[in-house]
Amino acid sequence: MSSVLTIKDLTEEEFTLPGNAACPGCAAALSLRIALKVLGPKTIMIVPASCISVIQGYYPKTPCRVPVLNVAFASTAAAGSGAVAALELKGKSGVKVLCWAGDGGTADIGLQALSGAAERNENMIYVCYDNEAYMNTGTQRSGATPRAAFTTTTVTGKLERKKSVPEIMIAHRIPYVATACAAFPLDFASKLKRAESMPVRGLKYIHLLSPCPPGWRFPAEKTVEVGKLAVMTGMWILYEWYDGGYNLTGPSKALLEKSRRRPLKDYLSIQGRFGHLKEEDLESLQRDVDEHWEEFSKKLGIRA
């Protein structure tokens, strides 16, 4: 596997242009900018209904300098599979297919199409930008919304736990699965580069935590701070899975020991969506994080 990219490895050329419809502080728009710098102009994007479908353009304008196929909400991975097949039939090599879908479009309505594409091991990259709710339609809960978070359909806090799509993808035994966070763009860029340059054909999946100021209820200038806290508190673990084994990446490498992790409260208390929580709720969520790490640490070093 190649090493971690530095800022000098990213081209100064821009493939998403300013003046688009993203909210100030939108991590999804920031990450898309980075992603297209890594993948370059020979990329076809497949985008379902979501904030990104709005950001990539109100017809006839678009900020994206690559072709974008807008598809129905459930069909991202199916449409991506079709694009891969069409490119192969036309004998066009070197063109990358990038599916870029939200958590609603991935963890919920698009999951069967994604599972089918993973089982067929379609030769494409799939990024789920996870802002942990259906943001484009006004912050309804999704399968990826974390427990206790306020959304407009969980007004006293979500009761269920977050669904782990990366673990579901690992169960499909595709060549590459990783998590990333928009606040660590070079970690994300390195993972995309790895996914792109792997010699083996097949589906590469990256699950990108993408803080959303209006949906998570924090000021727009705090996007990177919130994303960093998600990782530093251990709420979000940065890892890769390939060749049957897990590796921690970025700052998560140093967080196996509980004492090195920031208290979860630091992450929760700066977001309005967790503003209703009492001390005992915070303690219960902290226990979830600690248990998750304990479970996760047992998988490290095992290759099967």
Ligand X SMILES: Cc1ncc(C[n+]2csc(CCOP(=O)(O)OP(=O)(O)O)c2C)c(N)n1
- Distance CA(107)–CA(244), nearest Å, equals 23
Residue 145 as a binder of Mg ion (CB under 5 A): the answer is no
Tokens encoding 193: 């580069």
C-alpha distances out from residue 222 to 25, 155, 183, 195, 211, Å = 8, 24, 10, 29, 9
Residue 122 as a binder of Mg ion (CB under 5 A): the answer is no
> 169: which DSSP letter?
H
Closest-CB residue for ligand X? 102
Burial of residue 92, with CB atoms counted within 10 A of its CB: 0-12 exposed, 13-18 middle, 19 or more buried: exposed
The residue range among 10-18, 111-119, 131-139, 225-233 that interacts with ligand X, by the rule CB under 6 A, is: 131-139
- Distance CA(284)–CA(139), nearest Å, equals 24
C-alpha distances out from residue 81 to 124, 153, 202, 203, 273, Å = 8, 33, 11, 10, 36
- The answer to whether 197 touches 13, Cβ cutoff 8 Å, is no
- Distance CA(204)–CA(42), nearest Å, equals 17
Among Mg ion, ligand X, ligand SF4, none, partner that 73 touches (CB below 5 to 8 angstroms by kind): ligand X
The residue range among 119-127, 128-136, 257-265, 282-290 that interacts with ligand X, by the rule CB under 6 A, is: 128-136
Q: Which of residues 87-116 bind ligand X (CB under 6 A)?
A: 102-105
Interface with Mg ion (CB under 5 A), residue from 103, 108, 122, 187: 103
Tokens encoding 252: 């998560």
- Residue identified by tokens 């009492």 is 278
Nearer Cβ to ligand SF4 (136/233): 136
Nearer Cβ to ligand X (49/127): 49
Phi, psi for residue 177 in degrees, rounded to 5: -135, 135
Residue 151 as a binder of Mg ion (CB under 5 A): the answer is no
Interface with Mg ion (CB under 5 A), residue from 102, 143, 211, 234: 102
Nearer Cβ to ligand SF4 (80/211): 211
Nearer Cβ to Mg ion (143/175): 143
- Of 151, 211, 154, 155, nearest to 22 by C-alpha is 211
Nearer Cβ to ligand SF4 (169/182): 182
Closest CB 263 distance from ligand X, rounded Å? 28
Residue 76 as a binder of ligand X (CB under 6 A): the answer is no
Tokens encoding 152: 């407009």
Nearer Cβ to ligand X (42/161): 161
The residue range among 10-18, 40-48, 126-134, 221-229 that interacts with Mg ion, by the rule CB under 5 A, is: 126-134
- Binding interface with ligand X (CB under 6 A): 49-52, 73, 102-105, 131, 134-137, 142
